[in-house]
Amino acid sequence: MSSTATNPASRTVASTQSEMTELILPNDTNTLGNLLGGRLMHFIDLTAAMAAYRHARTYIVTAAMDHIDFIEPVHLGDLVTLKSSINRAFTTSMEVGVKVWAENTQTGISKHVASAYLVFVAIDKSGLRVRVPQVVPETADELRRYDDAQLRRQHREAEGARRKKAQLETAALDGAAATEPQST
Ligand SMILES: CC(C)(COP(=O)(O)OP(=O)(O)OC[C@H]1O[C@@H](n2cnc3c(N)ncnc32)[C@H](O)[C@@H]1OP(=O)(O)O)[C@@H](O)C(=O)NCCC(=O)NCCS
């Protein structure tokens, strides 16, 4: 891991808050005129990265995007607003939460359409992982998200371990099958 000389020991959630608004055009939509899920995931990744950059102040990579809930479809011509902020920092990784709203331009009515959690890892120019500042939650909501981020990390780790075990078991079975004598 490389040094953190330019970073403070901690930052507030407010200092990472980021926002992006997009007008949904035909190229963003499927044949029903609704926003493509993949396009929305791209917007989510970008908005989350803004908060992660503001927290880490170094290069970052997306390590995981999980828990995306697509609650309502977004329609052609809607204005989509995404808001992100850091939930919690660990050693070199950070969890960012993103919330998405779609506004009907004719009625002005805005609906919550999606939410997601992403994990970014901080790296330096040569790809070495970098320690990130800790997060200081200041409000009740920030504290709740901070605590929940720890639980989600535990779930991700448990799921990662479960997948690794399953891969090892499959590889062992494949290896055993490959060494079995072939009948003629
Ligand atoms: C993400 C990446 C840097 C992790 O590297 P690694 O050598 O596997 O790292 P480690 O297993 O030692 O874990 C390093 C940190 O990343 C976290 N991490 C790694 N994989 C993760 C995952 N799938 N989900 C959440 N966190 C993850 C670890 O919890 C750890 O966090 P901590 O330092 O805060 O405790 C590496 O897998 C990578 O470069 N992936 C490709 C990233 C990419 O191309 N993204 C898309 C374009 S930006």
pLDDT of residue 5: 53
Rounded to whole angstroms, the Cα distance separating 153 from 175 reads 33
Paired tokens of 156: 């991700």
In a domain, 184, yes or no: no
The closest-lying atom of ligand 1 relative to the alpha carbon of residue 123 is: 3
Domain annotation covers residue 3: no
Measured from the Cα of 61, ligand 1's closest atom is 48
As for ligand 1, residues whose beta carbon falls within 6 Å of it are 61-64, 90-93, 119, 121, 129, 156
The CATH number of the domain holding residue 85 is 3.10.129.10
What pLDDT score does 66 carry? 84
Compute, in degrees rounded to 10, the torsion defined by CA atoms 62, 91, 59, 79.
50
Instruction: State the pLDDT at residue 56.
Output: 97
CB neighbours (10 Å) of residue 63?
14
What pLDDT shows up at residue 138?
A: 97
Element at 100 (helix H, strand E) = strand 93-103
DSSP-derived pairing of the beta strands 10-12 and 59-70: unpaired
Q: How far apart are CA 136 and CA 134, in angstroms?
A: 7
Number of separate domains in the chain: 1
Pocket perturbation via mutation, ligand 1, pick of 66, 94, 121, 129 by most ligand atoms within 8 A of CB: 121
In a domain, 61, yes or no: yes
Q: For 70-97, what is each residue's pLDDT tens digit?
A: 899 999 999 999 999 999 999 999 999 9
Q: In the prediction, which pLDDT does 2 show?
A: 64
Closest Cα to residue 94, out of 128, 144, 141, 58? 58
Q: Atom 35 in ligand 1: which residue has the minimum CA distance?
A: 91
DSSP string covering 71-92, please?
-S--BTTPEEEEEEEEEEE-SS
Distance 8 CA to ligand 1 centre (A): 22
**Considering the entire predicted model, what is its pTM?**
0.90
Please give the structure tokens belonging to residue 178: 């490959």
Please tell me the residue having the least CA distance from ligand 1 atom 46.
Answer: 62
**34: in domain:** yes
Task: Please report whether residue 47 resides in a domain.
Answer: yes
Q: Which residue's CA is the nearest one to ligand 1's atom 8?
A: 63
What pLDDT is attached to residue 40? 97
**Chunked in runs of 10, what are the mean pLDDT values of the chain (184 residues)?**
71 98 97 95 98 98 90 96 98 98 98 96 97 97 98 95 93 82 64
182 lies in some domain: no
User: What's residue 69's pLDDT?
Assistant: 84
The predicted pLDDT at position 179 comes to 77
> Residue 1 falls within a domain, yes or no?
no
Compute the distance from residue 121 Cα to the ligand 1 centre, in Å: 6
Domain assignment of residue 5, yes or no: no
Specify the pairing of strand 59-70 against strand 18-23. unpaired
Mean pLDDT rounded to a whole number for the chain: 93
153 C-alpha to ligand 1 centroid (Å) = 12
Question: How far is residue 108's CA from residue 117's CA, in Å, rounded to a whole number?
Answer: 27
pLDDT for 130 equals 96
> What distance in angstroms lies between residue 63's CA and the mean position of ligand 1's atoms?
5
Tokens of 94: 């950070």
Q: 106: domain range?
A: 10-177
